[in-house]
Chain A
Amino acid sequence: MLDIRQIPIGALLGLIITTLLVLSAILAPLIAPYGIGQIVGGVWEPATSEHWLGTDNLGRDLLTRMIYGGRITIFIAALATALSFILGSVLGFTAAVVGGWFDTIMSRLVDLLMSIPTLIFGLVVLSVLPSSTLTLILVMGILDSTRVYRLARAVAVDINVMDFVEAAKLRGEGRAWIIFREILPNALSPLVAELGLRFIFAVLFLSALSFLGLGVQPPESDWGGMVRENKEGIVFGIPAALIPAGAIAALSISVNLVADWVLNRTSDLKGGRGNA
């Protein structure tokens, strides 16, 4: 079993912060002190014992907004990551094992998509698509699946040429056994670490889009949208916009620390079991 004392301090901290943020997102309606759209005071009031983080540009409780905003950020980023992962890894594995024209076409298409910066292509597409949560998830997930595809394909191609896979083919094993029993267990740990990085990317991408006014649309707002709502305050020396921005940073640093640790712990294929 995993011993908590063996986790490096950075990863432990990352794990704790990530857990807290995710929990507060899930339990948002239970722990939020006020209603999401409820105006409770003046504009940009400083922190008090009633409003721990002060109020926002319309006089709403900032802590409440943060809790609900985190919910939206994490929800959309998680779904987009799941989509990009399922799409990317299924296509990547298939391309590696099947090879031939399927591999060639898929790989060229991915090369093409990756030759345009994600943000730019995202903006181009969002200029014609309706602004909705579903659109965001689809656009983010599909664009990001190119990176997962590349990784999954590379990992699977590497494993596919190893002698133990050849031994299984010589034994006469079917394609399903080879993918699920020989390749997948060995591809899992680089993919799991990548999952963390893709999630961070999704959080940052979504926040950037919302900040630019092209992501989550008012009245709902995620953390990136909250930065946009409160950015005018900066000029008057009111740091309200920095709170959601800081939360995004805290979330992505925490996940990064955990992903780094997972990658280091399991990067060695010959190292055997993940919990050795």
Chain B
Amino acid sequence: MGSSRILILIAQRIAMGVLLLFAVSALIFAGTQILPGDVAQSILGQAATPQALANLREELGLNDPAIVRYFRWLGGVLTGDLGTALSNGRDIASSLEDRLGNTLFLAAIAAIVSVPLAILLGLLAVRYRNGAIDKIISGLALASTSLPEFFIGYVLMLFFAVKLQWFPSVSTVYDTMSFVEKLRAVALPATALTFVVLAHMMRMTRAAILNVMQSAYIETAELKGLSPFQIIRRHAFPNAVAPIVNVVMLNLAYLVVGVVVIEVIFVYPGLGQYLVDHVTKRDVPVVQAVGLIFAAVYIGLNMIADIVAILANPRLRNPR
């Protein structure tokens, strides 16, 4: 009885996510059609003859209306064909593969470090609320939400790569590297990325736990004479899990975006670097494809956050 209601809600949320993804794909496509001038012009340059332009347009199907081109593009995306890059004529999907893997590797390392750390610090901040530790933590949080990513990145690079020479300053990775070598290569960008999301995640974790700890049922538990440990385990934890997972998911989404600048700083061969390079080259098909991938990851993580919240809500699990 309860489970069917939950399934419906989750199905609705997934359907929402898919719908949103389609809308976003349309928006990204539309975002690249704002200006007159087109791919043919970009390929051939300003000096191209009208005849050459017309031929290329015909060839690329650019004379069709935007809506037709959108669906053609979307159809390609859905079947794994992301088109070819204008700048080098290579197949986009195959160039993406390695880079996507690299980006996910970097993001995963940063997540593995930052998530437990943020939760731990958030718990500490709540445990010693309004005390020195809380003040230091929230001060650092304020500072790090105000710091640009490249400030953190270059400070780390200057000290740990240039002065101390512990890590390479350019984070090159390639297939033949061992896992440990790869770890050493991404150590600095992963640290920088951790700093970028840590403060935000910790602040939100703190708020989520505080919200639970200030509930009347925690006072009830205290007035039953339960120990602080029992209160946290039996009464706070079951209610805090959902908000914390929610916080984590939202921040992972944030982390995936933060990756773009960090990759450029450390010249890391990931998706972000690839995107920035091709924005500079005005290589629209690549930008569309990578933009869509970033947006999909972001929307997906947000969707997971909502689904966790649905699953963890006792009112939904046990309806009247």
Contacts and interface: CB of A to CB of B under 8 A. Distances in A.
A124 interface: yes
Contacts of B34: 125, 128-129
A236 interface: yes
Nearest to B281: A127
B288 A124 contact: yes
A127 B284 contact: yes
Given A124-B291, A237-B162, A119 B257 contact: yes
Interface stretch (A47-55, A163-171, A182-190, A239-247): A239-247
A256 B24 contact: no
A213 B280 contact: yes
Interface in A225-260: 227, 231, 234-237, 239, 241-242, 245-246, 248-249, 252-253, 256-257, 260
Contact of B169 (A112, A117, A126, A235): A235
B154 A123 contact: no
Contacts of A213: 276, 280
A234 B151 CA distance: 12
Given A120-B257, A124-B288, A256-B142, A239 B294 contact: no
A214 interface: yes
A207 B20 CA distance: 30
B298 interface: yes
B261 A208 contact: yes
Interface string A5-18: 00000000000000
Interface string B251-281: 0010011001100110000000001101110
Contacts of A121: 27-28, 31, 291, 295
B115 to A, nearest CB: 19
A200 B146 contact: yes
Most chain A beta carbons < 10 A, residue from B148, B157, B161, B278: B148
A245 B162 contact: no
B20 A115 contact: yes
Contacts of B282: 127-128
A234 B284 contact: no
Interface string B1-36: 000000000000000000010011001100111110
A211 B264 contact: yes
Contact of A245 (B31, B35, B154, B298): B154
B47 interface: no
Contacts of B294: 117, 120
Contact of A120 (B154, B155, B158, B291): B291
A245 B295 CA distance: 28
Interface in A181-229: 200, 204, 207-208, 211-214, 224, 227
Nearest to B42: A128
A30 interface: no
A9 B27 CA distance: 46
Given A119-B260, A212-B264, A234 B158 contact: yes
Contact of A123 (B20, B143, B279, B302): B279
A113 B27 CA distance: 8
Contacts of B261: 119, 208, 211-212
Given A112-B20, A234-B157, A127 B287 contact: yes
Contacts of B288: 124
Given A212-B264, A237-B158, A242-B158, A253 B23 contact: no
A234 B68 CA distance: 49
Interface of A: 112-113, 115-117, 119-121, 123-130, 200, 204, 207-208, 211-214, 224, 227, 231, 234-237, 239, 241-242, 245-246, 248-249, 252-253, 256-257, 260
